[in-house]
């Protein structure tokens, strides 16, 4: 039986690239998104081993319905990719508080909901893995991206905690941490960081790394966090070896507009 993958927020961007790549590799693919029409169009384009559905990741009941529907269709749930996310950029105080709250509801609560609702299905599977979309913004808090950066710190913490806790079930919980990726989400971003660092990654880069993690065997050798992109790796290494004052000064320089 083919393995299956359920991807949230997969009607476009990184999620759609993941869906296409895994479909090409013979997986049964669940394309779930708040934009069900767009998700269905991608599923129709891919073929009979793709299933689309509506999912607002901030709604736990929708997760329960979607996962039950997908698992009945696919036979079992092997891989969950918590990909859905949003980003607001610009001065913290000039961004409406409802936008900050929405960021947390989707980027953090969406991941909590997905992991919690998926566990009963993952425990039944012969092979099970969760891969979350974190970010290089979880290395050090980012100016002009405060709620987004905070949300990705939360994803990093959720991933680390569950990767340890769910070892008892044989389930690895991993994340990927790319720098900015060329998607609709980063167009017209109002943040000095992207203006200084630029956008060097595309959705396919992230999709290929997630495929590598999905295929990795062994529960110990695979690291919890996977950095994507040379610049991300440099920033991560610097944050580990530099005093906090240097990290802050570095971020002041790269975030200044």
Catalytic residue positions? 148
Question: Residue 177: which of 152, 199, 144 has the closest Cα?
Answer: 152
> Any idea what the Cα angle at residue 166 is, between residues 128 and 102, rounded to 5°?
85
Question: Residue 51: which of 109, 68, 112 has the closest Cα?
Answer: 68
Q: Which residue is listed with tokens 């999709």?
A: 207
CB neighbour class for 220 (10 Å; exposed up to 12, middle 13-18, buried from 19): exposed
Q: Which residue is listed with tokens 């079930």?
A: 169
Q: Which residue is listed with tokens 């599977």?
A: 125
Please state the φ and ψ torsions of residue 5, each to the nearest 5 degrees: -140, 135
Rounded distance between C-alpha atoms, residue 191 and residue 91, angstroms: 8
Query: Going along the chain, which residue ranges are E strands?
Result: 4-8, 28-33, 50-54, 79-82, 129-133, 172-178, 225-228
Taking 3-state DSSP, the helix, strand and coil percentages for the chain, each rounded to the nearest 5, stand at 55, 15, 30
């Amino acid at each position: 039986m083919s393995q299956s993958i359920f991807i949230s927020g997969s009607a476009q961007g990184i999620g759609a690239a993941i869906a296409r790549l895994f479909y090409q590799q013979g997986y049964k693919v669940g394309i779930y998104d708040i934009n069900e029409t767009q998700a269905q169009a991608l599923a129709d384009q891919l073929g009979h081993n793709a299933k689309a559905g509506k999912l607002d990741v901030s709604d736990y009941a929708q997760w329960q319905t979607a996962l039950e529907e997908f698992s009945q269709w696919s036979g079992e749930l092997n891989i969950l990719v918590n990909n859905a996310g949003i980003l607001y950029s610009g001065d913290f105080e000039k961004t409406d508080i409802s936008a900050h709250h929405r960021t947390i509801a989707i980027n953090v609560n969406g991941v909590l909901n997905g992991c919690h609702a998926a566990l009963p299905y993952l425990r039944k599977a012969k092979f099970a893995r969760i891969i979350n979309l974190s970010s290089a913004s979880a290395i050090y808090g980012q100016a002009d991206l405060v709620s987004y950066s905070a949300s990705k710190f939360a994803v990093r913490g959720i991933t680390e905690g569950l990767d340890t806790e769910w070892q008892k079930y044989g389930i690895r919980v991993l994340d990927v941490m790319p720098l900015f990726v060329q998607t609709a989400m980063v167009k017209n971003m109002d943040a000095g960081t992207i203006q200084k660092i630029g956008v060097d990654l595309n959705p396919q880069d992230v999709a290929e790394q997630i495929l590598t993690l999905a295929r990795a065997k062994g529960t110990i050798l695979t690291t919890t966090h996977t950095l994507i992109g040379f610049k991300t790796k440099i920033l991560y290494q610097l944050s580990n070896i530099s005093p906090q004052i240097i990290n802050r000064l570095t971020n002041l320089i790269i975030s200044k507009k």
